[in-house]
Structure 1
Amino acid sequence: MKDGLTRDDYLNWFQRVDEGPFHSVSCGERVHGPTYDMRVVLAAAAVATKRVKITPTLYVLPMHPAVAVAKEVATMDILSGGRVEQVCVGYGGREKDYQAMERPIRGRYQRMDEQVVELRRVWNGEEIIAGGGSIGPAPTRPGGPQLLAGALGPKSIARCAKWADGLYAWSGNGEQAELANAFALANNAWAEAGREQVPYRLGGFWYSLADNAEQRLYDYVYDYLDIAGPEIATAMARSVHRHNADAVREGLDNAEAAGCEEVFLVPATADLSEIDRLSDLLARR
């Protein structure tokens, strides 16, 4: 989400992640602002890395044709040698992003329910257009990767429980109660939907271990949420304080205690110190 990133920045990060004590590399989707395209970045990561999972977090699925997403994900999976094991999908809430992509934000909930069915039909090799044949390439796993829902509220989580393999729960400051509450909602929703398998539990929070980390974390969160207005952006930026080793370690402890099976740490800067210092912290944890 940073402006001015270069090819070398990405290649250095891919290398550090792949060589470090990490399981996955991820990238989110946002249209407005300086962000690079999530799918192209992750395709590059798929080729530049050898070990870590490649996990989109997340596709704003109703902004795209489901067939295009199915084809992109299968391509990334093959380029990575079968390391796209999970894909996070969500509704998104940025109306201007929908407008820029020439897709209506209205009706996105029902549309995503239908798109998930279509994704799996494509990955299963079923014909989508009569007489057109199947749409490849075929992913490395029969039926494609797991689908995790990036949902927040109880209604959204209950809706996703009918088709999702797990939940991507977000807590900007890595708070145990927020993550645990989301997973409790998911467990209940999965049970009410008659799902036998419990949901996979993925979490995430912001952090910084770079120089001048406190200010840079504040600035990052403020800029990210500026679209919501200065009051909301200021309140959120003031609430996030994972900007030193002890605070990050506490955030990780919170995620583990909340039941996270995996957690994505989203850095506030592109400094390599973010990942080098995080690697050192994890080695001592």
Structure 2
Amino acid sequence: MTLPVMEPDLDANTLKTWARVVDDGPFSSLCWGERMAFDNPDSLTLLGAVSAWTDRVRLVTTVIVPQLHDPVMLAKALATGDMLSGGRLTVGIGVGGRQEDYDAVGADFSTQTMRGMAERVAIMKRVWAGEKITDSVLPVGPPPVQAGGPSLMVGTIGPKTVRSAATWADGMAGTTLDLDVAQQNELFDVARAAWNDAGRPKPHLATSFWFAIGEGAEPRAQVHRHLRRYMNWIPADFVDAMAPTTGWAGGDDDLLAVLRRFEAIGTDEVHLIPTSSSTDQLRRVADVAKEFA
């Protein structure tokens, strides 16, 4: 389950309630995404909070963009989060899709490439291994609880990105806009083959989609409202055109059926993305997810 970090009018109590409900089960992971030119909470600050608010679930960044951060400072922050959470951190990373986020922090948009991301990952892994990056007395710490650092998931929707990450990532955290299970399975097959060719263990396969649970026309309208707000860098008429087929909206049985279809193609996790901060919807989805516990 993803925290509703892209919803308006958030406060600490809402986020804490969500985190604790998710931690109570049956969800396997608690996720949250990163944007800069938006009013969502800072991802690394939130990592410290959810480490304290939870005890059981994996904590998954979906995704952090390394090019928006100094890699050594990012490695230190993530190692701290891994320490505070007792080794429950998984780091989903991606190149990001918005130039305005790069501009907001003064990052070079020409680094928005898989090569630029891989170079920063290599530095982060050196930090997590305890290697000195400079001629300092001590290396940058703290050491992560997980040997070698947190697991890394590449955020992607395309085969080229998947193949290029096979040598350093532990899996993929994809996104499906239209819930095309066959197309998602094709991407999973690319990952399976790429990891095998690289001599790596079987990749962790995750995907995500927006959701709204309820009856009648309101769930689809909720998704539409969310997309209008979140996709504010895209012309509104484009968002309106894609809204009827983007994400999922429906009732409990429909959601269970969709999740079963993803289970059938070997999906290890589905990271559900809320389009409301309503805890009623969260608890309703939790009842559906119990079928997979």
Give the C-alpha shift of residue 45 in structure 1.
Answer: 0.8
1:244 aligned residue: 251
SS of residue in 1 equivalent to 2:108: coil
Match of 1:221 among 211, 217, 227: 227
Counterparts in 2 of 1:1-285, with a 5 A limit? 1-84=6-89, 86-109=90-113, 110-192=115-197, 194-209=198-213, 212-240=218-246, 241-284=248-291
Post-superposition Cα deviations, 1:115-148, rounded to whole Å, max 9, x if no partner, equal 1111110000000012353100100011011111
Q: What is the RMSD computed on CA atoms of the aligned residues?
A: 1.7
| CA distance in 2 between partners of 1:249 and 1:217 (Å) | 18
What is the total number of aligned residue pairs between the two structures? 283
Change (3 A) 1:53 1:24: same
Give the C-alpha shift of residue 42 in structure 1.
Answer: 2.3
Give the C-alpha shift of residue 204 in structure 1.
Answer: 1.0
SS of residue in 1 equivalent to 2:231: helix
Post-superposition Cα deviations, 1:162-210, rounded to whole Å, max 9, x if no partner, equal 2111111111343312321221121232234x22312111111111125
Contact 2:214–2:249 under 8 Å retained in 1: no
Contact 1:223–1:233 under 8 Å retained in 2: no
Letter of the structure 2 residue corresponding to residue 272 of structure 1? T
Give the C-alpha shift of residue 242 in structure 1.
Answer: 2.6
Change (3 A) 1:272 1:173: farther
Gaps of 5+ in 1: none
Change (3 A) 1:132 1:255: farther
Task: Choose 229-238 or 88-97, whichever is displaced more.
Answer: 229-238
| CA distance in 2 between partners of 1:131 and 1:201 (Å) | 39
Contact 2:93–2:154 under 8 Å retained in 1: yes
Letter of the structure 2 residue corresponding to residue 225 of structure 1? M
TM-score, normalised via structure 2 length: 0.91
| CA distance in 2 between partners of 1:69 and 1:252 (Å) | 34
Contact 1:149–1:167 under 8 Å retained in 2: yes
- Identity within the alignment, %: 31
SS of residue in 2 equivalent to 1:42: helix
SS of residue in 2 equivalent to 1:31: coil
Contact 2:93–2:155 under 8 Å retained in 1: yes
SS of residue in 2 equivalent to 1:57: strand
SS of residue in 2 equivalent to 1:264: strand
Give the C-alpha shift of residue 284 in structure 1.
Answer: 5.0
Gaps of 5+ in 2: 1-5
Contact 1:175–1:255 under 8 Å retained in 2: no
Contact 1:169–1:183 under 8 Å retained in 2: no
